Amino acid sequence: MAEEEKQSVRETAAPWEPNVVGFLCNWCSYAGADLAGTSRIPYACNVRVIRVPCSSRVDPLMILRAFREGADGVLVSGCHPGDCHYIEGNYYARRKLIALKQLLDHVGLDPRRFRVSWVSASEGRKWAKVVETVTRDLLEAGPFHYEENGDDQGRAPGRG
Ligand code: FES
């Protein structure tokens, strides 16, 4: 390939965008995200939403699998503590996710890659702000490379 063609390909290649998997509870955060959309609030389109009945439905293995399958970051969002549609679901979720976060910190995962946020159905603006923050943080952190044995860059949970 001629040098001019290579330059042309580089110029037209899309810049890297973070790929974020978002687990959203049906009753609050999903509705909040929907409100952001219907209110036409502009925000980054990097989050691929997976709707779950409640934040307590999110198993830590689902989060690890998202990373393994290519996510650069994972966001879990549910009702505010005390507002869960299933009364105590988000309290269970909070305990599980705190434990997972500690584990991920321990194995060296960049803390910007995993985030938990409580967003209600009326908080479309907050949802947009959370997504903007997560996206900006991941743009700074760069792409995630899952490596089975991990490395000194704190990139991957592994056996290293
Ligand atoms: Fe939203 Fe439980 S229903 S966190």
Q: Is 75 within the bounds of a domain? A: yes
Q: Is 13 within the bounds of a domain? A: no
Q: E-strand spans in the chain?
A: 20-25, 47-52, 73-78, 114-118
pLDDT score, position 146: 79
Taking the centre of ligand 1 as the mean of its atom positions, its distance from the CA of residue 77, in whole angstroms, is 9
* C-alpha span between 70 and 145 (Å, rounded): 8
pLDDT score, position 160: 37
Low-confidence stretches of the chain (pLDDT < 70) are 1-12, 148-160
Residue list, ligand 1 pocket, CB within 6 Å: 25, 27-28, 54-56, 78-79, 84-86, 89-90
Give the structural domain span for 103. Answer: 18-141
Q: In sequence order, what are the beta bridge partners of 117?
A: 77
Taking the centre of ligand 1 as the mean of its atom positions, its distance from the CA of residue 76, in whole angstroms, is 11
Check which CATH number belongs to the domain holding 29 and give it.
3.40.50
Taking the centre of ligand 1 as the mean of its atom positions, its distance from the CA of residue 22, in whole angstroms, is 14
Q: What is the residue whose two structure tokens read 């925000």?
A: 43
* C-alpha span between 75 and 43 (Å, rounded): 15
* C-alpha span between 131 and 22 (Å, rounded): 9
Structural domains in the chain (count)? 1
Q: What residue owns the CA closest to ligand 1's atom 1?
A: 79
Q: What is the residue whose two structure tokens read 């991957």?
A: 156
Atom of ligand 1 nearest to the CA of 89: 2
Its pTM stands at 0.84
Q: Is 5 within the bounds of a domain? A: no
Q: Is 77 within the bounds of a domain? A: yes
Q: Is 9 within the bounds of a domain? A: no
Residue type, 13: A
pLDDT score, position 10: 55
146: buried, middle or exposed (CB in 10 Å: 19+, 13-18, 0-12)?
middle
The C-alpha R_g of the chain, in whole angstroms, comes to 17
Q: Is 149 within the bounds of a domain? A: no
